[in-house]
Amino acid sequence: MDLDIPELLQHVLIDLVQMQEFEQHPLVLARGDGARVWDVDGREYLDALSGVFVVNVGHGNRRVIEAMTRQLERLTFAAPTTATSDRMLELGGELTQLTPPELDVVKFQNGGSEAIEAAIKIARQYHRQTGAPDKFKVVSRHRSYHGATMGALAATGFAAFRAPFEPLPAGYVRVPPSSVDAIEAAIIEEGPDTVAVVILEPIMNMAGVRIPEPGYLEGVREICDRHDVLLAYDEIVTGFGRVGSWFAAEHFGVWPDLLCFGKGVTSGYSPLSGVVMTRRIADAFRGERKAMRHLMHGITYGGNPLSCAAGLAVIEEIKGRDLLQNAKEMGERLMAGLNDLMKDHPAITDVRGLGLLVAVDFSLPSEDLERLTEKIRELPMICIPPGPSGTMRFAPPIVIGAEDIDGILELTERGLVEARV
């Protein structure tokens, strides 16, 4: 079927792109397999970004496709508010095996932003029902991204994302990202009796893959406990094998009270996200029906059986193929290759990452950086080009093999050579 793409592009808006520019060189994908995708003209690209930190188990994954096909034939929707499904229960059981025993109850949603919204609402209602009704404020960090919906956006630490939508909900406080003291100072200044939750990405993704300093997460955990403030992690990018463990929390050995996941949980085969909470929090929502203590938050498609079937297959795939180990090994190969590139290309000033979440910094005059960004955009590779920040990011599917990692390295070098930097 021949599509009139220029005409059809007039009828849609694509996330966070300037359509006027996109229309000049539209990337319209039609097919995928593993770490490769093809556009409508049959041109092949290396997907060095898993779509956008999503397709962890790769495109065209047979296990997920077959599990979803089976589920399509059985049941695709179970009525929330009156029922649930066998698949949702099964996935809840599996997920809570991936977290420590105290993180034991899941509330499913559809997308990352919804998971953040849910975490904030859970924190507020929890405090209200456990004798601290004035605890409603949310502390988050500058340069964090938490989502597009109003509550998640208010927690987001990039002014440019927030500005067009002011005024945002009240009760949000943002602090510098790397200082434990800044978090405690904000809690004290606001009044500990008013703060519900601290929310953070354990590895800041959009800020350029920032790994926390040793002791940082322990420090935040201790402050939250001392002031009876819940700690929520946004693991929407870092979950499901991305950093070589099920969650970044596991890698750092510091767990939150509310763990938000999304993206990789179904690897993009169907929308799903959620919040894993501690038993203590979940218990606050138990009681007689008339007491109205149940979580006052519903979302129609959240945890639908089709998405849960996909989630179960993704977990099986990660376990069955030891993809956590693969993410570690391939991440090391990618970082070693980028470090080698740094020796020949002084424009590269830093390489950092964990597992298959990797960033490279370029220090270049703005004209050279612009040229490099353009050359990288033209490559048959999906990644986040450096742009004005000078940081390029990679997050290929965790099923990727050595050959495709080497392909990413070759293409990156080609971009540097063509940009003459």
Ligand X SMILES: Cc1ncc(COP(=O)(O)O)c(C=O)c1O
In angstroms, how far apart are the furthest CA atoms of the chain?
70
Q: Does 264 bind ligand X (CB under 6 A)?
A: no
**Strand, helix or coil for residue 241:** coil
Q: Does 394 bind ligand X (CB under 6 A)?
A: no
Q: Which is nearer to ligand X, 202 or 390 (CB)?
A: 202
Q: Does 111 bind ligand X (CB under 6 A)?
A: yes
Tokens of 415: 């971009």
Q: Which is nearer to ligand X, 204 or 229 (CB)?
A: 204
Tokens of 269: 């085969």
Q: Does 205 bind ligand X (CB under 6 A)?
A: yes
CA gyration radius, the chain: 22
Q: Which is nearer to ligand X, 231 or 372 (CB)?
A: 231
Given 58, 151, 177, 262, the residue binding ligand X (CB under 6 A): 262
Q: Which is nearer to ligand X, 125 or 238 (CB)?
A: 238
Q: Does 304 bind ligand X (CB under 6 A)?
A: no
Q: Which is nearer to ligand X, 136 or 161 (CB)?
A: 161
Alpha-carbon distance 208 to 144, whole Å?
Answer: 10
Asked if residues 241 and 56 have their Cβ atoms less than 8 Å apart, the reply is: yes
Distance in Å, CB of 247 to ligand X, minimum: 13
Distance in Å, CB of 239 to ligand X, minimum: 10
Q: Which is nearer to ligand X, 146 or 375 (CB)?
A: 146
Q: Does 56 bind ligand X (CB under 6 A)?
A: no
Site map (CB under 6 A) of ligand X, residues 61-100, x = contact: ----------------------------------------
**Strand, helix or coil for residue 29:** strand
Please list, residue by residue across 91-101, b when 16 or more beta carbons sit within 10 angstroms of its beta carbon and e when fewer do.
bbebbbebbee
The site for ligand X, by CB under 6 A, has a size of: 14
Distance in Å, CB of 147 to ligand X, minimum: 4
Q: Please report, for residues 6, 18, 22, 302, 315, the alpha-carbon distance to residue 15 in angstroms, rounded to integers and kept in the order given.
A: 17, 9, 11, 22, 28
Given 47, 104, 201, 257, the residue binding ligand X (CB under 6 A): 201
Q: Does 331 bind ligand X (CB under 6 A)?
A: no
Given 87, 146, 174, 345, the residue binding ligand X (CB under 6 A): 146
Given 153, 196, 220, 237, the residue binding ligand X (CB under 6 A): 237
Stretch 207-236 residues interacting with ligand X (CB under 6 A)? 234, 236
Q: Does 113 bind ligand X (CB under 6 A)?
A: yes
Contact range with ligand X by CB under 6 A, out of 109-117, 121-129, 171-179, 378-386? 109-117
Contact range with ligand X by CB under 6 A, out of 107-115, 290-298, 333-341, 403-411? 107-115
DSSP state of 396: -
Which residue's beta carbon is nearest to the bound ligand X?
Answer: 112
Asked if residues 259 and 103 have their Cβ atoms less than 8 Å apart, the reply is: yes
Alpha-carbon distance 186 to 234, whole Å?
Answer: 20
Q: Does 195 bind ligand X (CB under 6 A)?
A: no
Distance in Å, CB of 88 to ligand X, minimum: 19
Contacts of 2 (CB under 8 A, 6+ apart): none
Q: Which is nearer to ligand X, 118 or 351 (CB)?
A: 118
Q: Which is nearer to ligand X, 262 or 353 (CB)?
A: 262
Distance in Å, CB of 185 to ligand X, minimum: 24
Q: Does 145 bind ligand X (CB under 6 A)?
A: yes
* Closest C-alpha to 360, from 403, 409, 399: 409
* Closest C-alpha to 226, from 265, 187, 258: 187
* Closest C-alpha to 270, from 233, 316, 227, 314: 314
Q: Which is nearer to ligand X, 148 or 341 (CB)?
A: 148
Distance in Å, CB of 116 to ligand X, minimum: 6
Q: Which is nearer to ligand X, 112 or 415 (CB)?
A: 112
Q: Is 276 exposed, middle or buried, given 0-12, 13-18 or 19+ CB atoms closer than 10 A?
A: buried
Alpha-carbon distance 341 to 391, whole Å?
Answer: 15
SS (H, E, C) 65-132: HHHHHHHHHHCCCCCCCCCCCHHHHHHHHHHCCCCCCCEEEEEEECCHHHHHHHHHHHHHHHHHCCCC
What number of other Cβ atoms are within 10 A of residue 221's Cβ?
Answer: 18
Q: For binding to ligand X (CB under 6 A), which residues are involved?
A: 111-113, 116, 145-148, 201, 205, 234, 236-237, 262
